Amino acid sequence: MATPALQAANPPRLPHFRTAEVTIVSLLWLILSVCGGIYLPPRTGWFVIALLMVVYCLFLGRWISARPLGILVNERNLMSLSRFQMMSWTVLLLSAFFEVALKRLHVLSSNSAALPINISMDWRLWALMGISATSLVGSPLILSSKTNQEPQPKTVDKAAAALNEPVVDIQRNSQGTLYSNPRIADASLIDMFQGDEIGNTAYVDVSKVQMFYFTIVAVLAYAYALYSAMNDIYPARGFAMPTPSDALVALLGISHAAYLTSKTTQHS
């Protein structure tokens, strides 16, 4: 029987069948994405690549967290709104960039005067990604200060009554004043709209609802702009990704500011 030190030095590996599945699915995803991006019309190829990215993310969640939506689960075993937003923008922008790059390389590579991979992105687009990354990284940093605080007993009792959970379970699973689930399997999509602390986890967090709505509207609006721009992706001088408006960047910036500010407030 292996000693704990030996087990730590040699962590358990994935079963052979799981390793084979990861390899096969990864290769299949790459082949289908490249073939779809090259041989399908630009808009159709973009849709196929985006769909394949979503499917691959579902496989990652199942491989690592034993559930398809595991990629959205944070360290407290809760579905994270900032993770959802980051993945939404990642899939939308990378799938479009990948499709345009594949198509331009396939069509314009024989034209010596063309610049196939000259695909420009305005600073406002980088700002959108930066805003999402700030929320993803900033949320744990802000909440980390609450892991060393103790919730008031009355607050725990109130949360236990509202959630219909035993007080001892909430106390055992919590991280300071932050509410946590005991297992990844307990994570739910409703977590994205609940408060982070024991004191407000049974209530709707309006800042999260606002950010969710703003994210959906912004992603759909920019997806339509991308769809329209793919009507012509072959100019020899290069292709420019659609530029988000200043109003859209400001809207998301204000939403994320309210989202992060709400996390600094004490609720327990």
Closest CA to 163 of 193, 209, 205, 199: 199
Res 11 pLDDT > 80: no
DSSP code string of 182-215? SSGGG--GGGGGB-SBTTTTTSB-HHHHHHHHHH
Residue 16: per-residue pLDDT:
59
Residue 188 contacts residue 67 (beta carbons within 8 Å):
no
Res 96 pLDDT > 90: yes
Residue 76 contacts residue 139 (beta carbons within 8 Å):
no
- Model pLDDT for residues 174-213, shown as the tens digit of each residue: 999 999 999 999 999 999 999 999 999 999 999 999 999 9
Residue 102: per-residue pLDDT:
94
Residue with the bigger pLDDT between 18 and 205: it is 205
Res 3 pLDDT > 50: no
Res 7 pLDDT > 70: no
Residue 149 contacts residue 176 (beta carbons within 8 Å):
yes
Residue 5: per-residue pLDDT:
45
CA distance 188 to 74: 11
Confidence of residue 13 (pLDDT cuts 50, 70, 90): low
CA atoms within 13 A on the CB side of 264: 8
Instruction: Report the pLDDT averaged over residues 225-233.
Output: 92
Sign of torsion, CA 23 29 34 36?
A: positive
pTM, two decimals, is 0.87
Rg (CA), the chain: 22
Q: Where are the beta strands (DSSP E) in 34-182?
A: 119-120
CA distance 103 to 45: 9
C-beta atoms surrounding 248 within 10 Å: 19
CA distance 268 to 176: 10
Alpha helices in 109-192 (DSSP H): 123-144, 153-163, 167-173
**Mean pLDDT in the chain?**
89
The helix (run of H) or strand (run of E) holding residue 82 is helix 81-108
- Model pLDDT for residues 147-161, shown as the tens digit of each residue: 988 888 899 999 999
Q: Where are the beta strands (DSSP E) in the chain?
A: 119-120, 239-240
